Structure 1
Amino acid sequence: MTIANRNLILNADSYKASHYLQYPQGTTQFSSYIEARGGQFKHAVFFGLQMFIKEYLSKPITNDDIDEARAVFEAHGVPFHETGWRYIVDTCGGYLPIEIQAIPEGMVVPVQNAMVQVINTDPQCAWLTSYVETALLRAVWYPTTVATVSWNCRQIIQGYMMETCEAIEGIDFKLHDFGARGATTEEAAAIGGAAHLVNFQGTDTISAIMAARRYYGAEMAGFSIPAAEHSTITAWGRDNEAAAYANMLGQFAGPGKLVAVVSDSYDLWNAIDNIWGDALRGRVVATGGTLVVRPDSGEPVAIVIETIERLMKKFGCTVNNKGYRVLPDCIRVIQGDGISQQTIVAILEAMKQRKQSADNIAFGMGGALLQKVSRDTMQFAMKTSAAKVKGIWRDVYKDPVTDRGKRSKKGILAVVKNNRGEVRTIRELDLGQRVNLLQTVFKNGQLVREFNFDQVRANALVSAIATESTEEADAELHSPDLG
């Protein structure tokens, strides 16, 4: 059974169907843009548009699609612009006559800047620019929001690693995606999971690595290790808990190898003190690899601190050149229960106060990574900013007195960097000799500009460095005057 709707005409809100009858006579073009208006974060990591273009816009609309849409809309109670859609099939080969411009995928920009701009290329299809809003906005807000959540977690973890670790080379594997089972659909897991992989390389979401492969040419964007779940431990019975752990070492441990074992099925403290730290301690040390102990219940901050302290008592520790304690290479901890950006901060701060290095811990993040986001997390919106009516371009905007935060931009837009490297949105008319970061990525059915996954990751990394140096400019950038 296929649930996903592949008929692009039906990939819209119902009220869009009647909008073609609502525009001024003589309207031949509309230009609209997508931005994050604010919300929880000061910056956005733009990602995901290429997936949507390849999956949905690179395939033509057919007469069968139109027939289906006509039947649906007539039964649904809304008008259907059959003439307009037949024109697209007959004149444009079924490909949408629109041009989409976007900033580079992976780029980190302050909120309240345009990330995408859409304009129709055929004067008979002015209605189409706004019609694609539902599908296009969803294709941008979700992966961009997940990538932004993940990116912010990376900045937090990196900050604590710089304070408490001798090196930060392991940061790519400090936040592991546990979110597949909590996502609403397999497609959501794929899109959101790929967004996380812009910033990290650890994932258990296979759909994510397939999305990165199919849409961005990444041979292998993410990695995992053998790991136990509660059923593989409890199947041995409580009296054989030590045997279950020993089996994990026998099956997967070895020089240079990692194996993760959930250890709270019965009594986490007994597992640490008496099984891992006593009965199996010699085997753990002798493997030449790393055992990753996973607590999976209790209050996260207290559990992590106590787990590390008990492991240090049994396995010892060293003090690095920054004065923080580090477990031996044979043993580490991963906390995957109750993890969010807020709990990551709380755990790492508590560890720092106890002189425990961030080297000791990795995190697994599930629902808070892929599911606990919405369009309102970053206040995403797509708005029309210009219309060509009877041959003359006019500004189109909203400016509600009841919520000035929803004031929209005017005119055809461009995104530039000034001489201090600060990103801002301006009118295209004011571009001059500056480079417009909004570049055409799709036009009339063709993917014009393509990014591979390495480029996306590099853009996020370079942008992160630039963002740190221009933080003080945020107040100005958050209120661009485009009037």
Structure 2
Amino acid sequence: MRNLILNTDSYKTSHFLQYPPGAEYVSSYIESRGGVYPATLFFGLQAFLKEYLSRPIDIVDIEEAEAVCLAHGVPFNRSGWEYILSAYQGYLPIEIEAVPEGTLLPTGNVMVQVINTDPQCAWLTSYVETALLRAVWYPTTVATVSRQCRDTIQRYLQETADTTDGLPFKLHDFGSRGVSSEESAALGGAAHLVNFMGTDTLSGILAARRYYSIDMAGFSIPAAEHSTITSWGQEGETDAYTNMLDQFSGDGRIVAVVSDSWDLWHAIDNIWGGELKTRVEQSGGTLVVRPDSGEPTEVVPEAIEHLMTHFGYRINSKGYRVLPDCIRLIQGDGVDADSIAAILAIMKQRELSADNIAFGMGGALLQRLNRDTQKFAMKASAICINGQWHDVYKDPVTDPGKRSKRGRLALIHDDAQGYQTVRADELGTRANQLMTIFRNGKILKEWTFEEVRQRAAQG
């Protein structure tokens, strides 16, 4: 699966025979044409550049690709790939421009632009579309969904809490087991960490370390699952919870315990708020109770109020009720961007501060999305034939939303109008926000994870 030549769609292998005679350069771009959210948080291209485009192809790759393509029934451009191996030592002769990672870019704007750097390789620009577009749309869409959740939680904290200091840990990534591959967990997990610092997706932490030079991008806590509680038997439920406190509670420490294996209300009212109440209050740390079933908009506020009945609460400066620091709640079942907003809205109606809760999000964060969530596409927009540039575009009468851009592109920004995509030949003295980050196998600009986070926070 590591052969870059085969990291494409089958029909791409015949395209080297389809361009006009004299074709020298093809310029293509990637954009989010619209979708669920009005802006996208750009992230993930650097990982692809380091993992794939910084490695040269070799003769073994060419031999394998030829054998596969011919048996598969499609042409193979052996001379073209042998030329790349000979002239460029196997590195792809392409140049990639992109907006800085962490940029919150309104939809409908160019975020990546690609062109071949050798006139003998005009076919190469579109050949890499499959791998390059996939490398951009997935982590960017995860980062965008995560950002939407952050905006929602931040708004409710501002309205119902004294501080937003806890925001980085208000949405925890539970998505690793729900994605299609370990690489998806890595890229999506890292994308979430652009916005938050809570995760159980170790692969995302490793991706951030490997590709964005950060030692530790996210954090977690000891937490129970149903098997570790139910193995004690229903009659041993109190002992199971006591063991969690014995093992993991203490000054400044946080422990999460799933508490609905049998009866959530019994667990809150009689065990946490009864037999173990003093133990929780005197632990010096925080117990996080986790419901894991039921309708979240009903269970969450009810569970918080049950906890308040036993542990008390204070009224903050904005008039909302807050549990004591020793006890909190995390909702990790049925969580997505919409349910987070719905839960927090009901909590606000019941005068419960957003301070009381954190969220865990799994499949809806890393898997329940696709290329059309933000309508991503990569399209050719210009071709140079015998030294003359020509616009390339599509404008289907059956779907105006798929109209593509024309010409070599640039991205400008000003405080009045924000980001706008313009033709590169009309840029004039305005600064192009697209930066050349890759050329002929060399990464020319790298971003650290902290730089990406800071840019994303600025929005």
Fold shared by both chains (TM-score > 0.5): yes
- Alignment of structure 1 residues 275-290 onto 2, 5 Å: 275-290=271-286
Instruction: State the partner residue of 2:26.
Output: 30
Q: Residue 371 of structure 1 aligns to which amino acid in structure 2?
A: Q
Q: Which whole-Å CA distance do the structure 2 matches of 1:40 and 1:172 have between them?
A: 24
Q: Which whole-Å CA distance do the structure 2 matches of 1:21 and 1:109 have between them?
A: 36
- 1:108 aligned residue (79, 104, 108): 104
Q: Residue 413 of structure 2 aligns to which amino acid in structure 1?
A: K
- Is 1:17 aligned with 2:20? no
Instruction: State the partner residue of 2:357.
Output: 361
Runs of 4+, deviation exceeding 2 Å: none
Q: Which whole-Å CA distance do the structure 2 matches of 1:98 and 1:138 have between them?
A: 17
Q: Which whole-Å CA distance do the structure 2 matches of 1:268 and 1:49 have between them?
A: 44
Q: Which whole-Å CA distance do the structure 2 matches of 1:420 and 1:204 have between them?
A: 41
Tell me by how many angstroms 1:419 deviates.
4.4
Q: Which whole-Å CA distance do the structure 1 matches of 2:96 and 2:262 have between them?
A: 55
Q: Deviations over 1:455-482 (max 9, x none)?
A: 000110112xxxxxxxxxxxxxxxxxxx
- Is 1:334 aligned with 2:330? yes
User: 2:407 aligns to what SS in structure 1?
Assistant: coil
Instruction: State the partner residue of 2:373.
Output: 377
Q: Residue 303 of structure 1 aligns to which amino acid in structure 2?
A: V
Q: Which whole-Å CA distance do the structure 1 matches of 2:193 and 2:436 have between them?
A: 25
Tell me by how many angstroms 1:75 deviates.
0.3
Q: Deviations over 1:140-185 (max 9, x none)?
A: 0000000000001000000000000000010000000000000100
User: 1:451 aligns to what SS in structure 2?
Assistant: coil
Instruction: State the partner residue of 2:258.
Output: 262
Tell me by how many angstroms 1:390 deviates.
1.2
Aligned pair count reads: 459
- Is 1:98 aligned with 2:94? yes
Q: Which whole-Å CA distance do the structure 1 matches of 2:61 and 2:354 have between them?
A: 54
Instruction: State the partner residue of 2:52.
Output: 56
Instruction: State the partner residue of 1:390.
Output: 386
Tell me by how many angstroms 1:442 deviates.
0.5
Tell me by how many angstroms 1:431 deviates.
1.2
Q: Residue 247 of structure 1 aligns to which amino acid in structure 2?
A: N
> Could you say what the CA RMSD is over the residues aligned between the two structures, in angstroms?
0.5
Instruction: State the partner residue of 1:461.
Output: 457
Q: Deviations over 1:128-149 (max 9, x none)?
A: 0000000000000000000000
Tell me by how many angstroms 1:225 deviates.
0.2
- Is 1:424 aligned with 2:420? yes
Could you state the TM-score of these two structures normalised by the residue count of structure 1? 0.95
- Alignment of structure 1 residues 22-421 onto 2, 5 Å: 22-420=18-416
Tell me by how many angstroms 1:269 deviates.
0.3
Q: Deviations over 1:296-330 (max 9, x none)?
A: 00111101011001000000000001000000000
Q: Which whole-Å CA distance do the structure 1 matches of 2:457 and 2:408 have between them?
A: 29
Instruction: State the partner residue of 1:469.
Output: none
Q: Which whole-Å CA distance do the structure 2 matches of 1:19 and 1:418 have between them?
A: 39
Identity across the alignment (%): 65
Q: Residue 345 of structure 2 aligns to which amino acid in structure 1?
A: E
Structure 2: unaligned runs, 5 residues or longer: none
Q: Which whole-Å CA distance do the structure 2 matches of 1:291 and 1:435 have between them?
A: 52
User: 1:78 aligns to what SS in structure 2?
Assistant: coil
C-alpha distance 79-147 of structure 1, shift in aligned 2 (>3 A): same
Tell me by how many angstroms 1:421 deviates.
5.7
User: 2:372 aligns to what SS in structure 1?
Assistant: helix
Q: Deviations over 1:46-77 (max 9, x none)?
A: 00000000000000010100000000000000
Q: Which whole-Å CA distance do the structure 2 matches of 1:345 and 1:44 have between them?
A: 19
Q: Deviations over 1:414-461 (max 9, x none)?
A: 001024260110011111121111101100000000000000001101
- Is 1:438 aligned with 2:434? yes
User: 1:44 aligns to what SS in structure 2?
Assistant: strand
Q: Which whole-Å CA distance do the structure 2 matches of 1:260 and 1:88 have between them?
A: 54
Q: Which whole-Å CA distance do the structure 2 matches of 1:242 and 1:69 have between them?
A: 61
C-alpha distance 260-419 of structure 1, shift in aligned 2 (>3 A): closer
Q: Residue 59 of structure 2 aligns to which amino acid in structure 1?
A: N
Q: Which whole-Å CA distance do the structure 2 matches of 1:398 and 1:233 have between them?
A: 58
Q: Which whole-Å CA distance do the structure 2 matches of 1:201 and 1:411 have between them?
A: 40
Q: Deviations over 1:324-376 (max 9, x none)?
A: 00000000000000000010011000000000000000000000000000000
Q: Which whole-Å CA distance do the structure 2 matches of 1:273 and 1:203 have between them?
A: 29
